[in-house]
Structure 1
Amino acid sequence: MNEDRNTTSRLLKGAAVLSLAAIVSKLLGTLQKIPLQNIGGDGVFGIYNTVYPFYTILLTLATAGFPTVVSKFVAERHALGEEAGKRAVLRIASVVMVALGAAGCLLMYFGAPLLAAWIGSSQLIPALRSAAPALLFVPLSASLRGYFQGLQNMTPTAVSQVTEQAVRVAVMIGLLFYFTGIGGSEAVIAGGALAGSAVGGAAGLAVMLLYWKGYRKRETTGRSGRKRGDSALAEVQPGPARDESVPALITVGKANADRGLIRELFRYAIPICLASLAIPLLNLVDTFTLPRLLNNGGDELRAMVEVGVYNRGIPLVQLVTMLASSLSVLFIPVLAEMNLRGDREGIAKQTGLALRWFWLIGLAASAGLALLAEPINVMLYEDNTGTGTFAWLAWTAAPGALVTITAALLQGLGVVRAPAVHLLAAAALKALLNALLVPRLGISGAAIAGIAAYAVAAALNLALLLRRAGLRPRLRDAAVRPAAAVLAMAAAVALLRLAGDAALPPGRLAALAESVLGVLLGAAVFAAAAVRLRLIGGAELAALPRVGPKLASALRKLRLLR
């Protein structure tokens, strides 16, 4: 019993460590785009955001799935006490991943001119080549992370992830200042920014190698005592007669075992990898369509500036989906356990609760970002260029949050492939709509295409999930009441903006005040309206950690909550 409790405690602690590291890493990765645009400008911002999805695709192909599979195989061999088996898994996985990473690096570096021609802009060549070396470091880090995760030691993964991201951002900002200071072109400055990925990858690998060195040292020290005890016994035990054919048999057996392990690694890793490719593929659609569609007059740099303006709103939308992604994983083990027990009532209750909360969070975020698009744009990027596109992009947060939570809930119910297929269909729709809308509407057309693509993926996931969970939501609860809460928030924020525009002089500080106050007021009004309209129950609100009981008590005193 104590052993089970200790195991559960280690798992919960490890999950908390990994979740915190993932949130910090994603925050750094998302927010670093703001100084990137501020220092480098929209042209550099456009080049960076055009190249980065392609780099992400190659990184996903080289690493996604393998850490999870390595951790699984290592955990199995660790439970059986097979030390040699654990090391064989790490050795083979490392060789495979380093080979894949090296292939990706060579493809990205030497194929940069051809890739830039396919995308439609020669401005991308320095950036593609600068990002390529990262693929030499990150795959080996991923295999080592999988090894330690298999031992239920999540700290090395967490520390290396945060170190990698922090070093990447620091180097990126330093090189941005350096190249802008010497008057480098937009292509060169963007290349410097992406060089941070390689330095960050090397730093993350260095951290993992330090943990590995310490682990091997402890293992060697632990075994040395046992070896001294065994050596005396070995001296008095008669050994078997020497068979010269044994080394050859061992070599053949080892080669066969290695090939079998490689097959098993790929058999488990490929489905995970394909599922992980879905969202990067959606972003890759813009990489391969926008530069060419926007480059009607032959001005490649101008097209990159437009791509940069288009990407202004994406970091904030990604913060919403990042929050949804971090919280959604909590539902997977709960639903998996209920599904195993056949608890249909519990599945329906948990699914309905998760869908309602994430729909409300996504809807409030989309409406709030759209209403405050202009002051947020000025606050973060100094001017209001592309505010209309920013507002359109904001409306991808709501369907994006639904895509994230529905995919997690389906995974908890054992449905893994369907969400990936739905996102692939969404990517195809995004490409088609980009081709139809961008020539007519410019970058706003790409934003509208994104709303449609995410909405289709969310609708497909939702239809399958409702059928599996046996849910039939009412239109009043799913649409009418949330719309009323959004209207209340919109009215409050609109009045605040009118008052702010009348009382404050135009500028970045005024935009900062208007944005912060607008977010706070909008969130408070939306939450109060949601409670008043019974979209959120008192028991649900009180169940929130720490702040929930106090908030519920305060709302009851104001007679907003029963």
Structure 2
Amino acid sequence: MATSKMIRGTMILTVATFFSRFLGILFVIPYYWLTGEEGSFLYQYAYTPYAIMLSISTMGLPLAVSKFVSKYNALGDYEAGRRLLKSGIFIMLGTGLIGFLLMFFGAPKIAELFDIPSSYFDSVVLVIRVVSIAILIVPMMSLLRGYFQGFQSMGPTAVSQVVEQIVRVAFILIGAFVVVKVFGGSVVIAAALATFAAFVGAVAGLYVMMHYWVSRRNKISRMNQGPSSRRRLSLFSMYKELITYAIPFVAVGIAMQLYQLIDQSMAFHYLHYSREVTRAVIADLTMNDQKLVMIPVTLATSLAVSAVPAIVASYARGKMKDVREKITQALQLVLFLTVPAAFGLSVLGNMVHVVLYYNPGQVELMQIGGKILTWYAPTAILFALFQVLASIVQGINRQKVTLIALGAGVVVKILLNPVCMKFFGMIGPVIATNAGYALSIMIIAAAVRKATAYTFSLIAQQVIHIVVYTTIMILLIRLIFFFFGGSFTASRFMAFLILIISVLAGAAVYLLLARYTGLLRKVLGKSHKAGSQSRHSKG
């Protein structure tokens, strides 16, 4: 029964996480229609430092607290989790207040780091100060989420995430519509309301968590009254252990924001375009195109990372053969989904941009966005591999590797970004990002191989199949382009028609080839078999 509850809870949380992330990705499209390049530009300049500060303020709490509480509950020491929650509320209120003050009063200094034109300076300071308000309450909400997850109760976190995201996105879009379309207000005010939505969504999410706490606290209190099989931990020991768990989670969480921050701080200095074009490039790199790139990443990692708990269990029992099999399952699943989606998005980059970000008066900006997406989309493969491999090394107790890998990748990004921007222009940041992530992946892969004796040649055959089928898919899409007269059109209707035909035809060919050759069965069927064996062994 306990195993069934854990599997059900993991699936609920996985679906909720995917839905909330997907909603957070898709909102950029109607938001762009309402506020244009300037709205996306201002929103992301506020959200990047906010996401970094938030990750630091919450200290990776949901997963770290979950791991801590789950461990001590298993040992019969329910009091440890209760004391962590009780003291953690005050600490989270403190870190939230400190994070808020640093961002609110440090907003001018943060804006200076971006090296932006003076005409944008005050607007960027405003949106940074507005979004900083959310940091006051998000850390406490994260603590409660982690505490419930430690009891294998995923429902509160799942509902809270979905409610928070729905309220946030609704507030962004309604606020932008009212300001721009109803009152004819400025895009700056619309962007400020969009960043304030982080606070509104957080309030909704916290309300849900408090509701669950009130309804379940008596049951949890009865568990806390049971006998403890361990000596009483000091608060220092508790938080030392918690921080050890948390730091790798923080590193993975802020990786992408660090790369975006580097791009934002260097773009106006090293990209020698007009101010309008540079603004469009930054908006595409850090928000418009970046969100599209994350769609296949979110889907693949949501499914692949669900295999990580099984990897942890097998590693703890010393069953290295099972560990290697599960690593293969996770990697082949993420590659099977991400490779065709990434390269398909790349070849359709121009069409996607015309359909989603149509602007008849600025064909040049649509072409710029399409070019960036064409180069940026394959990076989704690196994003997905980094996240999955980082989850695996955390599961096999090699947390420090994540920090080393992230640090090395960021250093490479910083060193290469100016050179790549100078020689390759708007696609330079993408090249530097690829180099940084590739180095991080190699470092983590080497650690996985050393710890588990895993041989990456185990997935070589599947990778060859995936590459061949993806190549055939791309050739088919190119043939469709030839039939319709090229890979770019300024007509939204034609772009939509070509996009639909290409996606349906490309996906059908890829899946039919995978099914005919048995790759689809191997990727999905083998995972099912492994999951079934795992359930039987645990039962």
The bucket for the TM-score relative to the shorter chain is 0.7 to 0.9
Q: Distance in 1 between matches of 2:161 and 2:454?
A: 39
Q: Secondary structure at the match of 2:152?
A: coil
Check if 1:385 corresponds to 2:362: no
CA drift at 1:36? 1.8
Alignment of 1:284-363 (within 5 A): 284-294=261-271, 299=275, 303-310=278-285, 311-363=287-339
Match of 2:12 among 17, 29, 41: 17
Verify the 8 A CA contact 2:301 2:388 in the aligned structure 1.
yes
* C-alpha contact 2:251 2:406 (8 A) present in aligned 1: no
Other-structure match for 1:551:
none
Quick one: distance in 1 between partners of 2:523 and 2:132? 48
Query: Counterpart amino acid of 1:126?
Result: L
SS of equivalent to 2:367: coil
1:527 is aligned to: 511
Name the residue aligned to 2:3.
Answer: 8
How many residues are aligned here? 506
Write the distance in 1 (CA, Å) between the matches of 2:257 and 2:406: 10
Amino acid paired to 1:179: V
Greater mean alpha carbon deviation, residues 394-403 or residues 271-280: 271-280
Separation in 1 of the partners of 2:244 and 2:391? 22
> Which moved further from structure 2: 352-361 or 73-82?
73-82
After TM superposition, give the deviation of residue 377 of structure 1 in Å.
Answer: 0.8
Cα distance in 1 between the residues matched to 2:243 and 2:447: 28
Stretch of structure 1 that moved more, 281-290 or 388-397: 281-290
TM-fit CA distance, 1:474 = 8.1
Is contact 1:159–1:207 with CA below 8 Å preserved after alignment? yes
Question: Residue 90 of structure 2: which of 81, 88, 95 is its match?
Answer: 95
2:41 to 43, 46, 50: 46
Counterpart for residue 259 of structure 2 = 282
**What's the offset of the Cα at 1:337?**
3.0
The answer to whether 1:458 aligns with 2:441 is yes
For the Cα contact (< 8 Å) 2:264–2:282, is it kept in 1?
no
Residue 539 (structure 1) shift: 4.9
Q: State the 1:82 CA deviation.
A: 6.8
Native 8 Å contact 1:39 1:177 kept in 2: yes
Aligned-residue offset at 1:162: 0.8
Q: Which consecutive aligned stretches of 4+ in structure 1 deviate over 6 angstroms post-superposition?
A: 79-84, 217-220
- Cα gap change, 1:85 to 1:459, in 2 (>3 Å): closer
Q: Distance in 2 between matches of 1:64 and 1:114?
A: 23
Q: What are the Cα deviations for residues 144-200 of structure 1, in whole angstroms up to 9, with x where unaligned?
A: 112222333221111111111111101111121123234444433322211111111
Which of 409, 415, 421 is the aligned partner of 1:426?
A: 409
TM-score (norm 1): 0.81
CA distance in 2, matches of 1:382, 1:309: 14
1:215 aligns with 2:216: yes
Q: CA RMSD in A?
A: 3.2
TM-score by length of 2: 0.84
- Corresponding residue for residue 30 of structure 1: 25
Deviates more, 1:314-323 or 1:328-337: 328-337
What does residue 201 of structure 1 align with? 202
Matches within 5 A, 1:37-436: 37-75=32-70, 86-121=81-116, 122=121, 123-181=123-181, 182-216=183-217, 257-258=234-235, 261-294=238-271, 299=275, 303-310=278-285, 311-383=287-359, 384-386=366-368, 387-436=370-419
Letter aligned with residue 303 of structure 2: L
| Alpha-carbon distance in structure 2 between the residues aligned to 1:126 and 1:318 | 28
Is the contact made by 2:311 and 2:395 (CA closer than 8 Å) also made in structure 1? yes
Q: Please say which structure displays the higher CA radius of gyration.
A: 1
Alignment deviations for residues 437-475 of structure 1 (CA, whole Å, 9 cap, x no partner) = 223433221122222322332333334434543415289
Structure 1 residues 535 and 442, CA gap change in structure 2 (3 angstroms): farther
Q: Distance in 2 between matches of 1:485 and 1:134?
A: 45
Q: Which runs of 5+ in 2 are unaligned?
A: 226-231, 360-365, 530-539
8 Å contact from structure 1 (residues 62, 104) kept in 2: yes
Contact 2:20/2:161 (<8 A) preserved: yes
| AA at the equivalent of 2:432 | A
1:321: how far off? 1.4
How far the C-alpha of 1:523 sits from its partner, in A, is: 1.8
Secondary structure of the structure 2 residue equivalent to 1:312: helix
Report % sequence identity.
30
CA distance in 1 between partners of 2:284 and 2:109 (Å): 25
Contact 1:335 1:347 in 2 (8 A): yes
Name whichever of 149-158 and 195-204 sits farther off.
149-158
SS of equivalent to 1:313 = helix
Q: How far did residue 508 of structure 1 move? A: 2.0
